[in-house]
């Protein structure tokens, strides 16, 4: 039986065995990051869900109380829902979770970080673009064997560099292989970092 997929999403088949999980930022949708995914890997399949929370009409992956202040109960629930969607999508579209790489931007990067910390085993690799600590884990998960590439903007006024650095430290302490980079940029992405991500994939 095909599992039920309860996120609005796009799935674009690829010609290799890799799948990119594309997680948009606040106000984005399931179409937004498809061109970025294609640019990063012309051969990968692309899976792109739409966040199920609306903030003044703008889709997000979880609720926040203010900029950078998260509703932690909602974050837990939404993290589990997205993790379960990923597992169901792997069955429905027949892709290998070990070959899945999450690529998240801003709010999408934050929920990817939350899945890494709360549901280890679902993501084996992640690119976190403009990410911050989603919540303080009481216990560190075992993330050995997980590859993570983090890109921050030195002039990002939404996500302070120290916060992204703390996330990198938490993920490293959990055993992940983390590579963190900071660019002369704000919250928007730069072409140089996308070139570096492409090389890292």
Of 32, 106, 114, 124, the catalytic one is: 106
* CB nearer to ligand MLT: pick between 2 and 157: 157
CB of residue 106 to ligand MLT, shortest distance in Å: 4
80 labelled catalytic: no
Q: Which residue matches tokens 């997680």?
A: 23
Of 41, 48, 124, 156, the catalytic one is: 156
Core vs surface per residue 7-35: b (16+ CB within 10 A) or e: bebbbeebeeebbbbbbbbbebbbebbbe
Judged by the rule CB under 6 A, the positions of this chain that interact with ligand MLT are 25-26, 64, 67-68, 106-107, 110, 158
Contact 181, 199 (CB under 8 A): no
CB of residue 3 to ligand MLT, shortest distance in Å: 28
Q: What angle do CA 61, 190, 162 make, to 5 degrees?
A: 65
CB of residue 13 to ligand MLT, shortest distance in Å: 29
94 labelled catalytic: no
Of 9, 58, 181, 187, the catalytic one is: 187
17 labelled catalytic: no
How far is it, in rounded angstroms, from Cα 38 to Cα 57? 27
Which tokens go with 147? 């590859």
* Cα–Cα nearest to 58, from 82, 26, 33: 26
CB of residue 69 to ligand MLT, shortest distance in Å: 8
Provide φ and ψ at 179, rounded to 5°.
Answer: -125, 115
* CB nearer to ligand MLT: pick between 61 and 95: 61
Residue closest to ligand MLT when measured from CB atoms:
107
* CB nearer to ligand MLT: pick between 44 and 168: 168
Catalytically active residues, by annotation: 106, 156, 187
């Amino acid at each position: 039986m095909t599992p039920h997929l309860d996120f609005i999403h796009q799935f674009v088949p690829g010609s290799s065995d890799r799948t990119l999980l594309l997680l948009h930022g606040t106000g984005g949708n399931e179409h937004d990051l498809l061109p970025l995914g294609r640019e990063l890997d012309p051969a990968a399949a692309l899976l792109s869900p739409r966040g199920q929370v609306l903030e003044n009409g703008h889709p997000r992956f979880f609720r926040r109380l203010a900029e950078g202040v998260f509703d932690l109960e909602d974050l837990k629930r939404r993290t589990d829902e997205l993790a379960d969607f990923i597992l169901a999508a792997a069955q429905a579209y027949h892709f290998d979770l070990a070959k899945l790489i999450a690529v998240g931007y801003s709010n999408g990067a934050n929920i990817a970080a939350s899945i890494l910390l709360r549901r280890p085993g679902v993501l084996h690799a992640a690119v976190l673009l403009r990410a911050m600590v989603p919540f303080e884990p009481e216990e560190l998960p075992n993330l050995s064997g997980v590859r993570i590439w983090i890109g921050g903007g030195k002039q990002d006024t939404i996500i302070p560099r120290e916060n992204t650095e703390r996330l990198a430290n938490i993920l490293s302490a959990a055993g992940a292989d983390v590579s963190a980079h900071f660019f002369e940029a704000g919250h928007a992405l730069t072409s140089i970092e996308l070139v570096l991500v492409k090389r890292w994939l």
